[in-house]
């Protein structure tokens, strides 16, 4: 029992203190009547411990015993722990009305107990009635106000400011989602929509999008229903109460047919919606090299260590680049061939080879490299992919000695890649290529 640990164990089998023996009379006249020891009056703590011990592991007995204890000691200082134990036990006994009652008593007794307030909201949301839904809305608003006012000064020093802000947004988003659902149960659709929209704005999530789609469908707003269902379809993982992708497919298909008469065009629409929704849900990335106008303006971070590479230091050299991502299958096939070409030219001081990673989640990259063990230095693309318009992987680029693109190949032909890349390097390094580049550079 969780709260039993807060109450010191009291020995219930101790003997009552015996009175001191009377001094023997000098001359016994008659036997003195035997005195019975007085029974010790149980203390409140002893009664509580007895209630717990007598119940053993029987939750139903524990509820009965604790309720009897509260009748005897209605103002007990142990009420918070007892109410919490009664909530837990009644949930396990599936006596949800009684669990809700004790949970709300605990909220009334200790309104600053946010964890219990959240539990009360969840119980009322699932098992309450109309008045209970209204009270749950009030509790939600109270917790949202608490989350709004909590400051970073209260965070653990082991938690970064970024993680703190993310956690705070996630908590607010979840509370708004619950309150929106309560408003919906109460028939207050405008406030429900406001909360679902606010939840999605904080952290794009499938449940908020689906609820907005349902409200739009109820209002016969088919265009918005399609948009919201498509967002939910893109974001759902089927956990934490979110609908499965199969269920959402049925919903959006039904609304699409109502709006268009058939499902023609739905596939393309879902692909575009998927790209837009997942991009919005992705954590914001800091923009690297925002003012870069040409390759030599870029400074790229090393993946394995904290060193950086200034491409401006490569002026006068031939720079061979491959753009790749950990999720790209052809990139894995290209990597050993690219390494072999780089090794072939390793003695050339006028050439450099880099493998530029373009993953959205940079935390995946180092473990990937540790497993694959490529030989070519790996750097993050840090916006160079944006400058060069790289949108498919792998992409291989050769920059000549002036920083101009001399060769580019999107995709990967495993049968001819090594020869194609080697030939392009030779052409770029040939004197005729250099003279033509110099001539082009002259005014």
Token pair for 242:
């979110």
No. of helices (H) and no. of strands (E), the chain: 17, 7
Active site annotation includes 328: yes
Per-residue pLDDT tens listing for the chain (443 residues)? 333 322 333 232 333 334 444 444 444 445 555 655 555 567 899 999 999 999 988 999 999 999 999 999 999 999 999 999 999 999 999 999 999 999 999 999 988 889 889 999 999 999 999 999 999 999 999 999 999 888 877 777 777 788 888 889 999 999 999 999 999 999 999 999 999 999 999 999 999 999 999 999 999 999 999 999 999 999 998 777 789 999 999 999 999 999 999 999 999 999 998 888 877 776 666 789 999 999 999 999 999 887 899 999 999 999 999 999 999 999 999 999 999 999 999 999 999 999 999 998 888 999 999 998 899 999 999 999 999 999 999 999 999 999 999 999 999 999 999 999 999 999 999 877 655 554 444 33
Going across the sheet that includes 351-357, the strands are 378-380, 351-357, 318-324, 395-399, 405-410
How many CB atoms lie under 10 A from the CB of residue 416? 11
* Burial environment of residue 337 by CB neighbours within 10 A (0 to 12, 13 to 18, 19 or more): middle
Residue 434 has a pLDDT of 56
β-strands 351-357, 378-380: how paired? parallel
Residue 113 has a pLDDT of 87
Q: How far apart are CA 141 and CA 143, in angstroms?
A: 6
Residue 287 has a pLDDT of 84
Residue 22 has a pLDDT of 47
Q: How far is CA 213 from its chain centroid?
A: 23
Cis peptide before 404 (omega within 30 of 0): no
Residue 41 has a pLDDT of 61
Q: Which fold has domain 295-437?
A: Glutaredoxin (3.40.30)
Rg (CA), the chain: 36
Strand partners, 300: 309
Residue 298 has a pLDDT of 97
Closest CA to 251 of 277, 231, 268, 276: 231
Q: How far apart are CA 383 and CA 311, in angstroms?
A: 13
Strand partners, 395: 323, 410
Q: How far apart are CA 17 and CA 41, in angstroms?
A: 12
C-beta of residue 273 within 8 angstroms of C-beta of residue 231: yes
Strand partners, 323: 356, 395
Which are the contacts of 339, defined by CB distance < 8 A and separation ≥ 6? 374, 375, 376
Which are the contacts of 393, defined by CB distance < 8 A and separation ≥ 6? 323, 324, 325, 328, 330, 331, 358
The residue to which tokens 């599936």 are assigned? 94
Q: How far is CA 420 from its chain centroid?
A: 45
Token pair for 12:
């219930």
Active site annotation includes 140: no
pTM above 0.75, yes or no: no
Which are the contacts of 330, defined by CB distance < 8 A and separation ≥ 6? 393, 394, 411, 412
How many CB atoms lie under 10 A from the CB of residue 399? 25
Domain boundaries, the chain: 204-281, 295-437
Total residues found in the chain within this entry = 443
């Amino acid at each position: 029992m969780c709260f039993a640990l807060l109450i010191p164990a009291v020995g219930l089998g101790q003997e009552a203190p015996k009175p001191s023996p009377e001094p023997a009379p000098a001359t016994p006249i008659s036997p003195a009547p035997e005195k019975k020891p007085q029974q010790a009056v149980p203390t409140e703590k002893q009664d509580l411990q007895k209630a717990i011990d007598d119940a053993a592991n029987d939750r139903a007995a524990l509820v009965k015993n604790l309720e009897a204890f509260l009748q005897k000691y209605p103002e007990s200082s142990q009420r918070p722990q007892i109410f919490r134990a009664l909530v837990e036990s009644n949930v396990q006994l599936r006596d949800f009305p009684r669990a809700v009652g004790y949970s709300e008593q605990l909220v009334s007794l200790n309104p600053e107990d946010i964890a219990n307030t959240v539990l009360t909201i969840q119980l009322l949301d699932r098992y309450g009635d109309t008045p209970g839904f209204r009270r749950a809305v009030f509790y939600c608003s109270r917790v949202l106000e608490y989350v709004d006012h909590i400051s970073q000064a209260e965070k653990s020093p082991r938690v970064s400011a970024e993680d703190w802000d993310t956690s705070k947004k996630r908590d607010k988003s979840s509370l708004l989602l619950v309150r929106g659902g309560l408003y919906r149960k109460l028939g207050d659709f405008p406030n429900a929509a406001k909360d679902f929209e606010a939840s999605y704005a904080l952290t794009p999530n499938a449940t908020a999008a689906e609820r907005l789609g349902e409200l739009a469908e109820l209002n016969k707003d088919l265009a918005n229903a399609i948009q919201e269902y498509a967002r939910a379809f893109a974001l759902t993982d089927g956990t934490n109460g979110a609908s499965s992708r199969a269920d959402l497919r049925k919903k959006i298909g039904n609304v699409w047919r109502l709006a268009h008469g058939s499902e023609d065009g739905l596939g393309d629409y879902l692909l575009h919606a998927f790209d837009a929704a997942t991009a919005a849900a992705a954590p914001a990335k800091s923009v690297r090299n925002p003012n870069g106008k040409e390759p030599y303006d870029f400074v790229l971070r090393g993946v394995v260590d904290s060193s950086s590479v200034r491409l401006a230091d490569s002026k006068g050299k031939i720079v061979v680049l491959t753009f790749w991502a950990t999720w790209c299958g052809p990139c894995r096939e290209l990597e050993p061939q690219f390494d072999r070409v780089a090794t072939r030219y390793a003695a050339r001081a006028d050439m450099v080879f880099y493998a530029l990673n373009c993953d959205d989640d940079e935390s995946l990259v180092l473990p990937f490299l540790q497993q694959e063990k490529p030989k070519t230095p790996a750097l993050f693309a840090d916006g160079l992919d944006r400058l060069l318009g790289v949108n498919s992987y792998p992409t291989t680029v050769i920059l000549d000695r002036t920083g101009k693109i001399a060769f580019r190949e999107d995709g990967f032909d495993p049968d001819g890649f090594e020869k194609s890349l080697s030939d392009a390097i030779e052409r770029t390094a040939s004197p005729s290529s250099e003279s033509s580049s110099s001539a082009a550079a002259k005014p």
